[in-house]
Structure 1
């Protein structure tokens, strides 16, 4: 189906042409006839197949047909991650540049007051993550009473990241479900997601594209079984052999990602790391450098496995196999997007092999296995020390590692000293041992603190008179 065959306003058609789109993808072909007629849709499709364009075209068409006030948002798009929000806003600016509609992105990690002011000034479309949207909503910066259209993207990720309570908080403050249009799109639609759809949507049409195979058609998958010690030598060999121009390497933990970053840079492969605790502005700069080709390799934890549309990613490498089977689909979906081709390489070590069976069961396919020849491993590489773990902070007012107890209340912040040992009773000393007739242990027990003004005899630790 071509976009020209659909009933779309000319302003939207012009944006589609400027974006270079002519024919609908499978998910767009199934979704647009239903959504443009006003029906609610819950759509499932592989990542990178055009779900974002499907709901944006519907959204622009509805808002242009129904004129409304610009003082309050008319459409709300909810996404689980900041990267996905930024990507949706960029696509909205591209497709809707001729529609005269104001789109505002709301997410954490950037200027709080700047976003607050922009939202107060008014926007037709708000794209945001649940947390900051709720923050501004409680401050009454904006209202949800004028929402005509709701879009939930990557709803299953909302559950995975613990946003379901925040999502329900927002949905309960929208107009009734039959007074707005609702669209939900995701790469996977689980039972719990569909329960959410039936609760907050108006009899949604469930669409599924190519459910028999979860992974994208044009992704060439390959698996190497390798020991933990041989993973990095094999990775270097693969990078040198294939000359990967734009590669994403996924790893399970932030600490291991930083270690891999040090090793790759030391061996002549420039790269950067993005993870959940990287400051938002820095994260966006890294992604821009990667998109523009200034950065050949990007190391990422699963925070970056969804929602990133980056042109020309030639290879995705699972340095660690993901523990969640769904994350495998989203990781390799970063390549072979919009009809292009790509390659996904996975390295299964002693731990990762335990996740392989569940992954293959989920994607309903076996991952082809290759065995690396000895000459593919690189052994003359530069070694770097593993970063040390940061010391744990001592709890305030609690015990430290040495077992120190907190000061008692009422002591002025000082720890009460231990009481001095009681003086030994005056009894005849046992058999003489040395000049004093006492053992060193007995001397120690008999010592007591001197009173102010007392003097000791030379060579004795006892006060005068004893």
Structure 2
């Protein structure tokens, strides 16, 4: 129960109003040490409830120690404006019975309006690194009173090339601050470097490992002959799978646009989202999906970063992602907080090696599935194995060669007849044998 953590009564009232009863595993693990003021590095999958895991302790801290004359006391950094806006809404929900105010600082919005809002001195500032750094450099945002720095979705921020901005902002905050770093994956070497630079004696909380992510999510692959075959499979899946909302991922915006046309032609209510779409178009896509006017969103990884849509229960990888972590981000959009979901990857010959490397990275084996109505000829790479008969025949020939060498070889005292090059048996490159070396006259074998 949340009451067991000693949270402020106004926060408990908000939790009761919002029907929050039992904390999730990440909240159970992170709230107590966060309340103690410890630095944390938390790895927890998307949709596990980690926003409340850091929002509740920082709000409790602000309520316990009121400082009306201070500047911003909490800074929360996120990779995209959509995630920042969603976090602002969560802060406002949990702080609804308090006087704590929060401000939003992101790109794509009016700079002057944000500067005016910052002059009202909100206690909590939520933003994206680039715009926060802009306000910091122009003096409209001061970080000298920051007590808690939160880096949420830190692995995504590094993927987007924001590590330098994050480090500059962290350096501008007081050294004695509390820092909470959350990520969906353990990340690569770069995340470790950032963590060591911003955290002091952190407590490490690994709520999931690569090999047990998304336990409520079934992961399948379907082989395809080519792109056109993939398109037919995609149409079949969207027509026959039971789902509320689906996300289809491609690696390029050209492919995303093509799929949008293909699906609309088959009366699928789909919307495409990629890097060339404006911020208004991004907002429109999310809003239409939530309202139900569309139920399929086709997106590239860059465009989909930060889109937190709760009702997605089907993810289809039309193109395999280029890394295991990106795969985790994609499929993490389905099967959230105890809900079941399905992730399907369409695999042709150009995708197989990438898919296999992701299986090894996650230490998983994806379920192989066939669509009988659209079954193609490609079923994965063929395994070339010598038959038992052929292998026995090779051994027999090798035995005869050895016997012949013993009888008529150079060491037997009998002259051995040398075969000309044209009489030598042909040796196929790559069949497991090496051509015999020419022997100098008079040398013995052995």
Range into which the TM-score falls when normalised by the shorter chain: 0.7 to 0.9
Q: Which residue of the partner structure matches residue 269 of structure 1?
A: 268
* 1:181 matched residue in structure 2: 178
The CA distance in 1 between the partners of 2:349 and 2:153, in whole Å, is 32
Partners of 1:266 and 1:106 in 2: how far apart?
40
Partner Cα distance (1:23, 1:304) in 2: 34
Q: Could you tell which deviates more after superposition, 138-147 or 204-213?
A: 204-213
Residues of 2 paired with 1:262 and 1:64: CA distance? 53
> Are residues 20 and 292 of structure 1, via their aligned partners in 2, closer, same or farther at CA, if it must alter by over 3 Å?
farther
> 1:223–1:346: 8 Å Cα contact kept in structure 2?
yes
Question: Which residue in 2 is equivalent to 1:218?
Answer: 216
Match of 2:202 among 201, 204, 219: 204
Equivalent residues in 2 for 1:161-176 (5 A)?
161-176=160-175
Distance in 1 between the 2:143 and 2:34 partners?
22
Structure 1 position 197, deviation (Å): 2.1
Partner of 1:92: 91
300-309 or 255-264: bigger deviation: 300-309
Relative to structure 1, the CA distance from residue 20 to residue 293 in structure 2 (aligned partners, 3 Å threshold; closer, same or farther) is farther
Would you say the 8 A contact 2:163–2:194 is kept in 1?
no
Cα distance in structure 2, aligned partners of 1:324 and 1:254: 18
Deviations, residues 35-59 of structure 1 (Å, cap 9, x unaligned)? 1111111011122111111011111
Q: Distance in 1 between matches of 2:103 and 2:276?
A: 24
Distance 2:138 2:210 in 1: 46
Match of 2:24 in 1: 25
Q: What does 1:69-80 align with in structure 2 at a 5 Å threshold?
A: 69=68, 72-80=71-79
Shift of 1:215: 2.1
- What's 1:317 paired with? 316
2:134 match = 135
- Structure 1 vs Structure 2 CA RMSD: 1.7
Unaligned runs of 5+ in 1: 378-466
- Give the TM-score, by structure 2 length: 0.80
1:246 touches 1:312 (CA, 8 Å); kept in 2? yes
Q: Which has the larger radius of gyration?
A: 1
C-alpha deviations, 1:200-252, integer Å up to 9, x for none? 22211011013263421111111101122200111111111124331111111
Q: How far is the alpha carbon of 1:305 from its aligned partner?
A: 4.6
Deviation at 1:189, TM superposition (A): 2.5
CA distance in 2, matches of 1:70, 1:132: 25
Contact (CA 8 Å) 2:26, 2:48: kept in 1 or not? yes
Q: Alpha carbons of 1:15 and 1:213: their partners in 2 closer, same or farther (altered >3 Å)?
A: farther
Whether the aligned pair in 1 keeps the contact of 2:154 and 2:183 (CA below 8 Å) is yes
Q: Is the 8 A contact 1:87 1:308 kept in 2?
A: no
State the 1:19 CA deviation. Answer: 2.6
Q: 2-side partners of 1:138 and 1:69: how far apart?
A: 25
Whether the 8 Å contact between 1:71 and 1:123 is mirrored in structure 2 is: no
With normalisation by structure 1, the TM-score equals 0.77
* Unpaired stretches in structure 2, ≥5 consecutive residues: 377-446
Name the CA shift for 1:137/1:314 in 2 (closer, same or farther; >3 Å): same
- Counterpart of 1:257? 256
Equivalent pairs, count: 374
The separation in 2 between residues aligned to 1:15 and 1:252, in whole angstroms, is 42
Using the alignment, how far apart are the partners of 1:47 and 1:115 within structure 2? 28
Matched, 1:8 2:15: no
